[in-house]
Amino acid sequence: MAEGADLTSINSAEYRHTPLHQAVYHRRPDMVRTLIELCNAKDVLNQVLSMTSNPCGRGTTGTPLDIAKGSGSEAIVSMLQNASNGGKEAA
């Protein structure tokens, strides 16, 4: 990060997963939490949360939240909903 990592970069044209998408897909809650914090600090959180991708069978739109819902990870779903609400608890 200190050397300028791009948190909006994608892994390929086919999958279009950012680091956050990958952490969500692989159900890594600690990594998801850290990436949310880093994206927020770099002011790209809303952009990354809205980026669509290949959901690889876990959802339809491929946003990080869609993939998390498709994977059944309630903890990650909650983190992403909280992040998308500006840190306020989802209703």
**pLDDT tens, 43-67?**
999 999 999 999 999 999 999 999 9
pTM metric for this prediction: 0.91
Give the long-range contacts of residues 8-17, CB within 8 A, separation 24 or more.
8/44, 8/47, 8/48, 8/51, 10/51, 10/53, 14/54, 15/53, 15/54, 15/56, 16/51, 16/52, 16/53, 16/54, 16/62, 17/53, 17/54
**pLDDT tens, 13-33?**
999 999 999 999 999 999 999
